[in-house]
Amino acid sequence: MDIETGTPRTFRRTALVLTAAVALTGTGVAAAAGTRDAHRVNDTLQREVAERVIAAGPPGYLARIDDGRRVHTLAEGVADRRTGRPIKAGDQFEAGSNTKTFTAVLVLQQVDRGRLKLDAPVERYLPGVVPNGRNITVRMLLNHTSGLFSYTGAPDFFTDMENDPQHVHTDAELLGIAFAQEPYFAPGAGWKYSNTNYTLLGMILRKQTGKSMPALVRERITGPLGLRHTYYADPRATGTGPGYARGYAIKYGSGTPEYTDTSDWPIGGWGGAAGAMITTASDLSRFFSAVMRAELFSPAQLAQMKTTVGLPADFPLRGGYGLGLFRTDSPCGSVWGHGGDTMGHHSTAVASEDGRRTAVTDATGEPNDRDENPGVERYYQTIVFGADTVNICQMFGKPVPAEVLANLRGTTPGTGAR
């Protein structure tokens, strides 16, 4: 999920939401960390990553890295601040916008069945629902070129949620919020991430199949792939006992982080087809590997999914966005995947182009301040511009550039990197 209101803080948070791992533009000098065994994940470095993520605020952090030969897992911190239960690498968590890739898979399956056409207007499938729907195509919804305003960008959306956290939004409510605002641009005239696009895709799927999103995910994705710990929250996570990593909204403004447990908030009641999945690192790894191997749809649809559009010049990411799938050109290689943010989690999931290598992480805290402050800055620097990119390099068995380690450690590039 994302927040887009144009402030510096929300711009950074949008980047956090979108990126499976943020690519730094510099190449730098390769640091010694990560070079000890080019074919083995550096456990010492991964433990440092986990410790620094925890120090930045999230109560817990888990990671699963498959380098194509071995699987490395790690968990640090607690899954529940109240009980002190340690987090485990196999715990379930809210996957946020990683859900978009699940929704895109379901849409592409409909294309394979001849029920949907990517370049057909939305008006054909949802008559009278979308303003200017005759000029917005299904493809534009999938790749965020529709120009439709994202309901999460409304000025009071998250303030209203905090005031009434148990409210379950209907699709009509979310669309009402979105359509009350002017579009970002004319259909096809630009790129702007918008959760509204995926709300509409979920509506199309339900109308065409007569089935709910939880049922479609279960029957067409998690069942065939054997993902036993992944499901679509409708509207809340149901497995919030042992084995579930609780999520926390963090306010840093007072100098001492303040935590709000958001685990029982109805993620399905505002994230929906854009962000309602609950999963584990292992299941998410299996899913993205299957996507890259076209196990869930035809190779023709994978080619469509990987057809990307360019990102704005000022966007802090090199790569492109396809159909529910990001290509990130990191310092250690290009990866495919997505990222996800809820009110209490930041997760990333990436895979190599052949699907053999994957890296999945979850941090159980998300900044919830209204303004920038040192705590928020440290969170983004450590997790987005440090840990996420380190994990990609570890996945590929490549040296971690000095700039990346400097961002992780909060040091000047070229110092503290060895």
Catalytic residues: 97
Q: Identify residue 339 by its one-letter amino acid code.
A: G
- Could you give the CA distance from residue 229 to residue 246 in angstroms, rounded to a whole number? 15
Look up tokens 């710990």; give the residue.
Answer: 229
Token digits of residue 352: 């190599």
State how far the Cα of 288 lies from the Cα of 281, in Å rounded to an integer.
11
Q: Please say whether the beta carbons of 19 and 328 come within 8 A.
A: yes
Q: How many other C-beta atoms are found inside a 10 Å radius of the C-beta of residue 393?
A: 27
- Indicate the DSSP class of residue 241: S
- Which sign, positive or negative, has the C-alpha torsion 288, 100, 308, 18? negative
Give the separation between CA 245 and CA 365, rounded to whole angstroms. 10
The neighbouring-strand residues paired with 231 are 278
Number of Cβ within a 10 Å radius of residue 199: 26
How far CA 25 is from CA of 316, 351, 353, 373, in Å, comes to 9, 20, 21, 25
Angle between helices 171-179 and 195-209 (to 10 degrees): 140
Helix (H) or strand (E) holding 185: none
Residue whose token pair is 């009110």: 343
The answer to whether 25 and 32 are in contact (CB under 8 A) is no
